[in-house]
């Protein structure tokens, strides 16, 4: 078979060919420099999708919610891509698994693509591959990209920095306090969800969250946007419509306020700096035997300082665009 060129692949992906999308994802994940022109083409073709981060503590019902939300969004005709970071359930091989009828319907839907990404970036949080996977889906015409991350440590902050809209999920019965109340997490939410409202203890969780929001500093993420608290039940199909509408409203609001331009620019700045950092790290790693060990010896002897040594190293390895 003829080797497909990158523009062939991209065209097939845009036409909705699943195998072409899968192939592009494999290329971006490989990180191989040979695919850089393809990445450039993908990036150039991206820029339309609404990237929504869904985060929350383990077991708060994120995956179930993502499945229910995806079904709703599909109902409006939009295509949905799901990226699950460190998933424990219930995704497999590009489809959503589950015993619920709704999820079965999604499993056979060509307008839904699920990608699990088990690895984290070397620099912590979301890996470069995650954001490049977002570009692939975006370029392939998926209108909505949902990124599910388990909210442990830095991840929820990281997903908020990569998404246009961030949904923080809390659930009743996972502890005494509203789990969202961790340093920095209240502020990153554009939308709060209290899931599992079919449970009797959900009312208390919602009340606690409202109390926290009224006590805490006003979220400064976007002026003119009141962060809603939405109760949902994926089991009983409660609040999912409302959540979809809030997500859509937030998207429109960022466009009306011009905030979308700021967010896009912030996302690009982080990506640029991370990419540069990665290139430098790569080069440093390859420099192990030569100058690096010599500089380390001088550092050990305190014959130079880290800052001066770094300057010498950077000068010597001459990082150029071919990296």
Q: Give the interface with ligand GTP as residue ranges (CB under 6 A).
A: 56, 58-64, 87-89, 150, 195-196, 198-199, 233-235
- Report, in Å, the least distance between residue 100 CB and Mg ion: 14
- Report, in Å, the least distance between residue 223 CB and ligand GTP: 31
Give me the torsion for CA of 203, 207, 210, 212, rounded to 10°: -130
Between 149 and 165, CB nearer to ligand GTP: 149
**Which of 60, 63, 130, 149 is close enough to bind Mg ion by CB under 5 A?**
63
Is residue 130 at the binding interface for Mg ion, with CB under 5 A as the rule? no
* Strand-strand pairing, 95-96 and 144-150: unpaired
Question: How far is Cα 252 from Cα 247, in angstroms, rounded to an integer?
Answer: 9
Contact criterion met (CB below 8 Å) for 110 and 16: yes
- Report, in Å, the least distance between residue 89 CB and Mg ion: 6
Binding segment for Mg ion among 43-51, 62-70, 265-273, 311-319 (CB under 5 A)? Answer: 62-70
Which of ligand GTP, Mg ion, none interacts with 198 (beta carbon under 5 to 8 A by kind)? ligand GTP
- Could you give phi then psi for residue 220, rounded to 5 degrees? -100, 5
- Report, in Å, the least distance between residue 67 CB and ligand GTP: 8
Between 165 and 232, CB nearer to ligand GTP: 232
Between 64 and 205, CB nearer to ligand GTP: 64
Alpha helix positions (H), 1-154: 6-14, 18-30, 36-45, 62-75, 101-107, 128-139
Question: How far is Cα 39 from Cα 28, in angstroms, rounded to an integer?
Answer: 7
Which of ligand GTP, Mg ion, none interacts with 153 (beta carbon under 5 to 8 A by kind)? none
Which of ligand GTP, Mg ion, none interacts with 128 (beta carbon under 5 to 8 A by kind)? none
Q: Buried b / exposed e across 12-30, counting CB within 10 Å, b at 16+? A: bbeeeeeebbeebbebbbe
* 3-state secondary structure (DSSP) of residue 194: strand
Between 116 and 304, CB nearer to ligand GTP: 116
Contact criterion met (CB below 8 Å) for 178 and 216: no
Question: How far is Cα 97 from Cα 109, in angstroms, rounded to an integer?
Answer: 13
- Tokens coding 15: 């036409």
Which of ligand GTP, Mg ion, none interacts with 278 (beta carbon under 5 to 8 A by kind)? none
Among the listed residues 218, 246, 215, 233, the one whose alpha carbon sits nearest the alpha carbon of residue 50: 246
Question: How far is Cα 83 from Cα 117, in angstroms, rounded to an integer?
Answer: 7
- Report, in Å, the least distance between residue 138 CB and ligand GTP: 24
Which of Mg ion, ligand GTP, none interacts with 222 (beta carbon under 5 to 8 A by kind)? none
- Report, in Å, the least distance between residue 54 CB and ligand GTP: 9
- Report, in Å, the least distance between residue 124 CB and Mg ion: 20
Which of Mg ion, ligand GTP, none interacts with 58 (beta carbon under 5 to 8 A by kind)? ligand GTP
- Report, in Å, the least distance between residue 289 CB and ligand GTP: 42
Between 60 and 254, CB nearer to ligand GTP: 60
Between 88 and 245, CB nearer to ligand GTP: 88
What one-character-per-residue DSSP string does 41-55 give? HHHHH----EEEEEE
Per CB under 5 A, residues contacting Mg ion are 62-63
């Amino acid at each position: 078979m003829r080797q497909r060129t990158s523009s062939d692949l991209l065209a097939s992906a845009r036409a909705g060919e699943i195998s072409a999308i899968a192939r592009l994802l494999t290329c971006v994940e490989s990180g191989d420099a040979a695919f850089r022109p393809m990445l450039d083409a993908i990036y150039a073709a991206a820029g339309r999708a609404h990237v929504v981060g869904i985060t929350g503590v383990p077991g708060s019902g994120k995956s179930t919610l993502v499945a229910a939300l995806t079904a709703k969004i599909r109902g409006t005709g939009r295509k949905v891509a799901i990226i699950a970071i460190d998933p424990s359930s219930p995704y497999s091989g590009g489809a959503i698994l589950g015993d619920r009828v709704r999820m079965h319907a999604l499993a056979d839907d060509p307008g839904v693509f699920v990608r699990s990404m088990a690895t984290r970036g070397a620099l912590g949080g979301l890996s470069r591959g995650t954001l490049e996977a977002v570009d692939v889906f975006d370029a392939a015409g998926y209108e909505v990209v949902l990124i599910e991350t388990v909210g442990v440590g830095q991840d929820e902050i990281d997903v908020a920095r990569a998404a246009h809209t961030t949904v923080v999920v809390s659930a009743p019965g996972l502890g005494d306090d509203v789990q969202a109340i961790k340093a920095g997490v209240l502020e990153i939410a554009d939308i709060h969800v209290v899931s599992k409202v079919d449970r009797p203890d959900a009312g208390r969780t919602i009340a606690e969250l409202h109390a926290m929001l009224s006590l805490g500093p006003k979220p400064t993420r976007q002026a003119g946007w009141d962060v809603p608290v939405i109760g949902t039940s994926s089991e009983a199909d409660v609040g999912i419509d409302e959540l979809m509408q809030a997500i859509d409203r937030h998207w429109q609001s960022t466009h009306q306020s011009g905030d979308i331009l700021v967010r896009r620019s912030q996302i690009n700045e982080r990506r640029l700096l991370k990419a540069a950092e990665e290139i430098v790290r790569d080069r440093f790693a390859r420099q192990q035997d030569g100058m690096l060990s010599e500089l380390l010896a001088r550092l050990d002897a305190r014959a130079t300082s880290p800052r001066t040594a770094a300057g010498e190293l950077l000068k010597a390895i001459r990082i150029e665009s071919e990296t």
